[in-house]
Amino acid sequence: MVRRMVVALGGNAILTDDPTAKAQEKALETTAEQLIPLIRNNDVEMVVTHGNGPQVGNLLLQQLAADSPKNPAMPIDTAVAMTQGQIGFWMGQAFTRALIKNNMERVPVISVVTRTVVDKDDQAFEKPTKPIGPFYDEKGWAEMKAQYPDWVFVEDSGRGYRRVVPSPKPTRIVEAEAIKPLISSSVLVTVSGGGGIPVIETKDGYEGVEAVIDKDFSAAKVAELVEADNLLILTAVDNVFVNFNKPNQKKLETVTMAEMKAYVEEGQFAAGSMLPKVEAAMEFVARTGRPATITSLENLEDFLNNDSGTKIIP
């Protein structure tokens, strides 16, 4: 029986210490190669989503540096669209090369520029939380704050300071119905890049808003709407842990919703890293009754063969 799977790539799938296009393309070639076991598996229909926080942040900085009446900087929603196309192109190139390298049939690889509907009254617009752009040390943060006093910055998991913008929850994917037949036709589809272009619904259609949607929550919504059998969130670790980095650290394998909810209420997961992944996975399980798994790219074959990773079930 064919399983339909939505795969949410973490930032480590694209981001490197070198922010050049060439380096990021190279990182995605490695990622595509690691995804070959899923692509090769004839029993899997795969949809890929990805983040874009560093890319959209860097693009906004580049635009601000050249901002002028004749060359105005674009708003965040347009920057999200631009980086969707940018990363979608890189991913198409990477997957095509990986298919050729592995002597596999060259299936169509398509990136769909995707709009994600959010609620205009979402409280996230009052409290920005989504990190974008590079990390800054104390000196760099002070300089950026002085230059852009309206920007909001937070300290990010001990790694430095980053700009944060509103991150409303996705309510609908505009292109979901158009994506379904692509998946059924064995097309390798990349959708909802960077969480999708944030839009609100109006009587005249849709209007872009200044925000960046969390890619894991968007992946959960995509998985729900395309009727995926499994949501697979890929990150830097093979499993989710409780009591992380403590003597009583415990690896989570198969976990029920009730157990995971208790861990969340205990504050077991860091808000800037694992918590949104866990919450997005739980949302998918709650809405569909189907499992979600959090694991790493490196653990992908073991996930396919032994169902390893942290699997959340109803």
Counting other chains too, the contacts that 154-161 makes at CB distance below 8 Å and 24 or more residues apart are 154/129, 156/131, 156/272, 157/270, 157/272, 157/273, 159/135, 160/135, 160/136, 161/135, 161/136, 161/137
Distance between CA atoms of residues 106 and 17, nearest Å: 31
Beta strand 241-242 with 250-251 is antiparallel
Q: Give the pLDDT of residue 12.
A: 67
pLDDT at 77: 94
Closest among 220, 204, 133 to 169, alpha carbons compared: 220
| Domain residue spans of the chain | 3-116+170-312
- pTM for this one? 0.90
Q: Note whether 252 and 240 are within 8 A (CB).
A: yes
Provide the β-strand partners of residue 144.
Answer: none
10 contacts 235 by C-beta, under 8 angstroms: yes
Residue 224, strand partner residues: none
Q: Which residue has the tokens 């490695």?
A: 30
130 in active site: yes
pLDDT tens digits, the chain, 314 residues: what are they?
678 999 999 776 887 778 899 999 999 999 999 999 888 887 889 999 998 888 888 898 898 888 888 888 899 999 999 999 999 999 999 999 999 999 998 788 999 999 999 999 999 999 998 888 888 999 999 998 998 898 899 987 778 998 899 999 999 999 999 999 999 888 899 999 889 999 999 999 999 999 999 999 999 999 999 999 999 999 989 999 999 989 999 999 999 999 999 999 999 998 878 999 999 999 999 999 999 999 999 999 899 888 899 999 99
Best CA proximity match to 49, nearest among 205, 170, 135? 170
Burial of 143 (0-12, 13-18, 19+ CB in 10 A): exposed
Asked if residues 115 and 170 have their Cβ atoms less than 8 Å apart, the reply is no
| CB hemisphere CA count around 219 (13 angstroms) | 35
Does the domain at 3-116+170-312 match CATH 3.40.1160.10? Answer given as yes
Is 215 annotated in the active site? yes
102, amino acid identity: N
Among residues 10, 57, 130, 299, which one is catalytic? 130
Closest CA to 169 of 213, 125, 235, 215: 213
Catalytic site residue 277? Answer: yes
Catalytic residue among 169, 221, 277, 311: 277
Among the listed residues 169, 215, 221, 311, the single catalytic one is 215
Identify the three-state secondary structure at position 231. Answer: strand
Own/partner contacts of 252-260, CB < 8 Å, gap of 24 or more, are 252/310, 253/308, 253/309, 253/310, 253/311, 254/311, 254/313, 255/310, 255/311, 255/312, 255/313, 256/312, 256/313, 256/314, 257/282, 257/285, 257/286, 257/312, 257/313, 257/314, 260/312
Q: Would you state the structure tokens that stand for residue 112, as one six-digit string?
A: 């769909």
Residue 11 is a catalytic residue: yes
Convert 26-55 to b/e letters by CB count within 10 Å (16 or more is b). ebbbebbbbbbebbeeeebbbbbbbbbbbb
Question: Annotated catalytic, 139?
Answer: no
